[in-house]
Structure 1
Amino acid sequence: MSTVSNTSTTSFLGSYSGITSDTIDQLIAAESGKLTQYQNNQTKLNNEKDAWRDVQTRLDNLSGKLDGLQDEATFNAKTVTSSDGGRVAATVGTTAVPGNYKIEVTQLATQTRLTSGTIAAAAGKKSDADLALTGTLTLTNQDGKPSDEITIETTDSLKDIIGKINKQSKTTGISATVIGEQLVLSDSKMGARSIEASGSLAESLGLNKNATGAAQAKQTAGQSAKIMVNNDIEITQDSNTLTDAIEGLTLTLKEAGTTTVTVAEDLDKPIAAVKDFISQYNSALSFIGDQLDVGDPSAADNKTGKLVGNSSLMQLQSSLRSLMTTQVKNGNAAGDYSSDLGISVDRYGQLTLDEGKLTALLKENPTAAASFFEAEVDTGKTVTKDGITEKVMAKVGLSQKMATLLNSYVDKNDGIIATKNKTYDNLIADITGKIGLFNERMETKRAQYVATFTALDKAMMEAESQLSYLTSQLGTSGQS
């Protein structure tokens, strides 16, 4: 029995009935309303998921700005200047006390050096020439820490010997170099210290301090640094970098003489941090508002936000606005409301900053400004653990409260957005499966339509053939 291929079946379709592939496409399209509904729902879910992803990005950025406001260095930042950086350079930490400090450098710290006497084996030779010496050398610093025994071989030059000494510098603190035909040993630490050389080659290398004449090694003792602060406090240290001479200051001494170091409050850093926070807060709140926008319900082509009516996002919007207008109750009346810092909130929840007011508060009471963002207060409760009773403290600062709120949304494991993403993924996957099944059913129905209408065309063809045959027979019969 002969078969008709799909291609020939499709081309035969409609030959007699007039029902073509286009007709079947129209029938399938008429039954595809459910598919359109699935696709629209899937698009809506993807749009909502994308919107939540963008919300998370903005909340993450806002969290970063909150970190800056909780950083101790932000509101305790200081600036430092030196009247002569070529004499005394200074860096400042958060604990430095503002003021002027007169620094008189009376003496710089220096290293102890041991310069060898004449080295007979090196006379008239370059530093890389063999010395033809064999033996050992041990070096010991002021702390009594000796080097490992250094073995000198007959083919070693002065350059080879200093290489072996310097290999142990991290242990001994003693480094070596060659100047002319002599060895020069230096202690890495400063101050009055000593360097001792021993071993069978100590004298041959000119490192014996008890030798006589040109062979005697000469030690130049180092000295401590000495400074006078504000004309009445003398400080002596075995370094030209003083980290604890003045609280919060690191002084690097470069040259003898007098310099004035000035420490002041750094107002630019906290102001910049508050501005950055306000900018990111406004951006986040504006974006949230766009996603919740109901548009113009009366308009025929009304466009709404992707998350319009979403209760979780509405709660976030409300909570953020409330935090900016609520008293923080930090126990500091000078910085208990955002308005105390010059921050105002308009009817849309957007923040603006009166920089002059913030600057004045930072000058008069920087602690009040800092405590608005970060503060802990005693709740009056206690907790006992392992026999130790401690007070229960509450974090009431704006940054702390807002960080807690944001974390409830952006936490990668248990956050509201992470939970929603899982739900969206499940819903989208479910719809994708339904679309696949629907398309399979439509393909099956299409095949049924093609088979049915092809059979109709064949039946019509056969009927026409039979009619022609009967007509021809009747005609022949009439002629006879």
Structure 2
Amino acid sequence: MGVSLPGLASGLDTATLITKLMGIEKIPYNNLQVKKTNIDNNKSVFNNINLKLKTLRDAATNLSDLDSFKVNGGTSSDPSKVAVTVGDNAISGNYTIEVSQLAKPHVIAMNSISVLGSDGKDASFDFETYKDNVIKVNGKEIKFSDLELDGKTTSEALVEIASAINKSDSGVQASVIQTKPGEKSLVLTAKESGEDHEITTDLSNSTLFSVDNNAGQPAQNAELIVNGVKITSSSNTIKAAVPGMTFQLLAEKSTVSVEVKQDVDKITSKIDAFVKAYNEVIDIIKENTKKITNEKDANGEYKNFKTNLQGDSLLRDLQNELYGIVSSVGANGNSDGFKLLSQIGLEIDKGVTSAALMTGKISFDKELFKEKIAEDPVAVEELFRGDNGLGVVAKDRLKDWTSVNGLIQMKMDGYQSQIDFITDQMESMNERLILKEDALNKKFTAMEVALSKLQSQQSWMTTQLNSMIASSKSNS
């Protein structure tokens, strides 16, 4: 029976052991990572709030501007005859537009040219006969010798000449039309209408073309009367007749009426933009200050640990500020005017009677607003643009929150300082962890080497003992 000594090799999974030991060592590092993540998330929340507050302040500025309630819209009694576009600075009122004639571009037609030969097929262009021809259109020379006319048919040559005119920057559009079977004419049309844009031609050096005095169209200015004032224009788009209004003349011998009045829909959309921006800020505050519960696993560690801003003093102050802006608005007009925003359709937590159901958000009754602005537009405007109006108050009071050095930016800067500090801590700690892991690897490696040597010695001793036992048995 052989003799054996207990094995001295470690038998350990040293890699797993080191990993578990380092896991314990990294707990403070991981805690810093969680802390950094939560701070970064909080910073993101405030960054989002900052952007939303700037949108809200922009909406407030739009309500406080001088022209915020001067936006106008216009309607034509017959848009097929005179279409109207109204700018915000147009003056409210009624306008009568009588159009006697439309502006027309100058059109010159050349005498028709036969494009067919005696065989009834496309005739070849006689380049040798016409190669020295030169025509001038609005002072721009078109030399036939510069064009690729040789070898072309007459129809192709006419198209080539028209193309050259169009490329000459002469302010003329040239085209080739068929006047009757087998005959075509070169037609010149001014790109702009009116008498100021008459076409001038010089055909003295042309034997191919001559003007057809029985065709074409003379240049003509538009003539109209707006509220008794006669107007002449080279264009059918009339911009300067009435400030803030553009008329598009579409039919001669026509009379239409145009009504310009306050565009309630545009004003409503500006208020709606403010309400939406306000409510979005309220939503973000409520979402990030609600109570949360972090669950723990079987080992007592948190699952998906996260924090929120419940109890944050700055958010509480902001919420109070927003409520204060809306609740402080009131008009200073006469007793017959509107005094409160609720009278024109804007109210916080309208109809809510339980504190638990209050959201702090504004409701906007657009139909009621439109009814009230039609009833008393001056009083409604006072609630937005007056010294104590919503637009003015919100713009002024939100400035300290949204400026470059505002309260929100200062909060984010504070978070960034914490993030930078923790990042430095983590970098320093990570360096120590690397050294620690390296030291553990070296210790376990040295242990394995030592155990390996002992195991070799054990094997040698076992061999020697077995040899001695065997020798003793043989001698006996």
Contact 2:237 2:246 in 1 (8 A): yes
Residue matched to 1:306? 308
Query: Could you give the per-residue CA deviations for residues 365-408 of structure 1, whole angstroms, max 9, x where no partner exists?
Result: 5466556556789xxxxxxxxxxxxxxxxx94534653663244
Contact 1:337 1:372 in 2 (8 A): yes
Q: Which residue of 10, 15, 37 corresponds with 1:14?
A: 10
Distance 1:114 1:459, change over 3 A: closer
- Note the C-alpha offset of 1:82: 2.8
| Corresponding position: 1:237 with 2:240 | no
Residue matched to 1:40? 34
| Corresponding position: 1:246 with 2:232 | no
Residue matched to 1:5? none
Residue matched to 1:138? 136
| Corresponding position: 1:196 with 2:207 | no
SS in 2 for 1:149: strand
* Alpha-carbon distance in 1 for matches of 2:308, 2:270: 32
Distance 1:218 1:54, change over 3 A: closer
Distance 1:130 1:91, change over 3 A: farther
Residue matched to 1:265? 262
| Corresponding position: 1:107 with 2:110 | no
Distance 1:471 1:368, change over 3 A: farther
Contact 1:374 1:400 in 2 (8 A): no
| Corresponding position: 1:352 with 2:363 | yes
- More off after superposition, 453-462 vs 339-348: 453-462
Letter in 2 for 1:184: V
Contact 1:285 1:349 in 2 (8 A): yes
Residue matched to 1:275? 272
Residue matched to 1:226? 223
Task: Give the TM-score of the pair, scaled to structure 1.
Answer: 0.69
Residue matched to 2:353? none
Contact 2:61 2:392 in 1 (8 A): no
Residue matched to 1:210? none
* Alpha-carbon distance in 2 for matches of 1:428, 1:450: 32
Residue matched to 1:187? 190
Residue matched to 1:152? 144
Query: Could you give the per-residue CA deviations for residues 156-199 of structure 1, whole angstroms, max 9, x where no partner exists?
Result: 43323222222234xx4333333333333333343346433225
Letter in 2 for 1:174: V
Contact 2:109 2:185 in 1 (8 A): yes
Gaps of 5+ in 2: 1-6, 150-156, 295-299, 350-357
* Alpha-carbon distance in 2 for matches of 1:286, 1:178: 67
* Alpha-carbon distance in 2 for matches of 1:463, 1:116: 120
Contact 1:59 1:410 in 2 (8 A): no
Higher relative contact order (CA 8 A, sep 6+): 2
Distance 1:459 1:166, change over 3 A: closer
Distance 1:435 1:151, change over 3 A: same
Distance 1:184 1:356, change over 3 A: closer
SS in 2 for 1:286: helix
Q: Which residue of 416, 421, 434 corresponds with 1:427?
A: 421
- Note the C-alpha offset of 1:93: 1.4
* Alpha-carbon distance in 2 for matches of 1:316, 1:425: 24
- Note the C-alpha offset of 1:130: 4.7
Contact 2:203 2:209 in 1 (8 A): no
* Alpha-carbon distance in 1 for matches of 2:387, 2:420: 42
- Note the C-alpha offset of 1:278: 1.4
Residue matched to 2:410? 416
- Note the C-alpha offset of 1:252: 1.5
Residue matched to 1:321? 323
Distance 1:55 1:84, change over 3 A: same
Distance 1:280 1:155, change over 3 A: closer
- Note the C-alpha offset of 1:458: 6.6
SS in 2 for 1:251: strand
Gaps of 5+ in 1: 1-10, 141-146, 208-214, 378-394
| Corresponding position: 1:83 with 2:94 | no
Number of corresponding residues: 432
* Alpha-carbon distance in 1 for matches of 2:80, 2:382: 39
Contact 2:107 2:218 in 1 (8 A): yes
* Alpha-carbon distance in 2 for matches of 1:352, 1:304: 33
- Note the C-alpha offset of 1:283: 1.9
Query: Could you give the per-residue CA deviations for residues 236-266 of structure 1, whole angstroms, max 9, x where no partner exists?
Result: 3222222233343222222233333333322
- Note the C-alpha offset of 1:461: 6.2
Q: Which residue of 204, 209, 214 corresponds with 1:205?
A: 209
Distance 1:42 1:470, change over 3 A: farther
Please report the RMSD computed on the Cα atoms of aligned residues, expressed in angstroms.
4.9
- Note the C-alpha offset of 1:91: 1.7
- Note the C-alpha offset of 1:343: 2.5
- Note the C-alpha offset of 1:205: 1.8
* Alpha-carbon distance in 2 for matches of 1:269, 1:191: 36
- Note the C-alpha offset of 1:268: 1.9
- Note the C-alpha offset of 1:40: 2.9
Query: Could you give the per-residue CA deviations for residues 301-328 of structure 1, whole angstroms, max 9, x where no partner exists?
Result: 9998523454554444443333333348
Contact 1:242 1:250 in 2 (8 A): yes
* Alpha-carbon distance in 2 for matches of 1:28, 1:186: 87
- More off after superposition, 463-472 vs 240-249: 463-472
Identity %: 24
Task: Give the TM-score of the pair, scaled to structure 2.
Answer: 0.70
Residue matched to 1:176? 174
SS in 2 for 1:264: strand
Contact 2:18 2:437 in 1 (8 A): no
* Alpha-carbon distance in 2 for matches of 1:444, 1:116: 97
- More off after superposition, 353-362 vs 238-247: 353-362
Residue matched to 2:401? 405
- Note the C-alpha offset of 1:433: 0.5
SS in 2 for 1:111: coil
Letter in 2 for 1:243: K
